[in-house]
Amino acid sequence: MDDRKLTPAEEKRKTKFKALSAELEQQGYQKTDLCFSVTKANVLAVAVTFPILIAGILLFFWKNGGSNSFSLSGWRFLLFLITFLAGIAVHELIHGITWSIFAKKGFKAIDFGFMAKYLTPYCTCGEPLPFWSYATGILMPTLILGVGVYLVGLFAESYAWALWGLLNIFAGGGDLAVLWRIRKRRKSLLLDHPYQIGCVVFDKN
Ligand SMILES: [Zn+2]
């Protein structure tokens, strides 16, 4: 699926992940892999978020009109860029904090990594979680940084913050694709993949 070279930390997580999977299978669970390749995740991300972005832009102009001039130049642009880049780190942190609330080991179950080949940071949870716990952790960054900030921009009539929010919904496209993939797994145990996009699910018949 993915031929990138794993970091030592990822190798370690891979070993743990295999042991945990084997343990669950021994308990009578059936394992199904629901991971994406990075390329497929990106294609799906664009497909899922594109209609949301269009709707968000139309809603903004419908509510606030198009008469205010949009200026994002000089230091404003720099601020936009810096907060957006910081937002990427905060995005991963929100995944971690949300999952840690549900995980038995708390924040110790959470790990962060970086796929250098794809310039993609990620967060992963080493404990299997029930559907709603896993799904909440997947969705929370896009909900807060994307939808939340967009709504602030919408009601404050700020083009810049509305755009910032929409770009974060776009950045959360991979997460939305994962959510779409697991939507019928309400009764499964979901274990986040330690170094790929997506998760494996465990079902007991
Ligand atoms: Zn994410």
Phi, psi torsion values for 128, nearest 5 degrees: -70, 140
Could you tell me which of 69, 85, 185 has the C-alpha nearest to residue 132? 185
Query: What's the 25 CA to ligand 1 centre distance in angstroms?
Result: 28
Query: What's the 134 CA to ligand 1 centre distance in angstroms?
Result: 12
Residue 68's pLDDT band, with cuts at 50, 70 and 90, is: low
User: What pLDDT is stored for residue 2 in this prediction?
Assistant: 59
How confident is the model over 140-197, as pLDDT tens digits? 999 999 999 999 999 999 999 999 999 999 999 999 999 999 999 999 999 999 998 9
Residue 119 lies in a domain: yes
Residue 15 lies in a domain: no
Mean pLDDT of 53-78: 85
In our burial notation (b when 16+ CB lie closer than 10 A, e otherwise), range 40-56 reads ebbebbeebbeebbeeb
| Residue type present at position 171 | A
Count up the domains in the chain and report the number.
1
Residue 104 lies in a domain: yes
- Percent of the chain's residues with pLDDT above 70: 97
Query: What's the 184 CA to ligand 1 centre distance in angstroms?
Result: 20
Could you tell me which of 183, 199, 198, 179 has the C-alpha nearest to residue 21? 199
Query: What's the 94 CA to ligand 1 centre distance in angstroms?
Result: 9
Residue 183 lies in a domain: yes
Residue 74's pLDDT band, with cuts at 50, 70 and 90, is: confident
User: What pLDDT is stored for residue 124 in this prediction?
Assistant: 96
User: What pLDDT is stored for residue 103 in this prediction?
Assistant: 97
User: What pLDDT is stored for residue 96 in this prediction?
Assistant: 97
How confident is the model over 10-47, as pLDDT tens digits? 999 999 999 999 999 999 999 999 998 888 988 999 99
Give me the domain span that covers residue 53: 20-61+99-204
Mean pLDDT of 104-108: 96
Residue 67's pLDDT band, with cuts at 50, 70 and 90, is: low
Q: Is the pLDDT of residue 76 over 90?
A: no
Q: Across all residues in the chain, what is the average pLDDT? A: 92
User: What pLDDT is stored for residue 101 in this prediction?
Assistant: 98
Residue 153 lies in a domain: yes
Residue 57 lies in a domain: yes
Residue 149 lies in a domain: yes
The answer to whether residues 201 and 188 touch, using CB atoms and an 8 Å cutoff, is: yes
Which residues on neighbouring strands pair with residue 36, listed in sequence order?
197
More confident of the two residues 107 and 2: 107
Q: Is the pLDDT of residue 1 over 90?
A: no
Burial of 19 (0-12, 13-18, 19+ CB in 10 A): exposed
Query: What's the 33 CA to ligand 1 centre distance in angstroms?
Result: 19
Residue 39 lies in a domain: yes
Q: Is the pLDDT of residue 69 over 80?
A: no
Q: Which residues surround the ion ligand 1 when the cut-off is CB under 5 Å?
A: 175
CA distance 163 to 166: 5
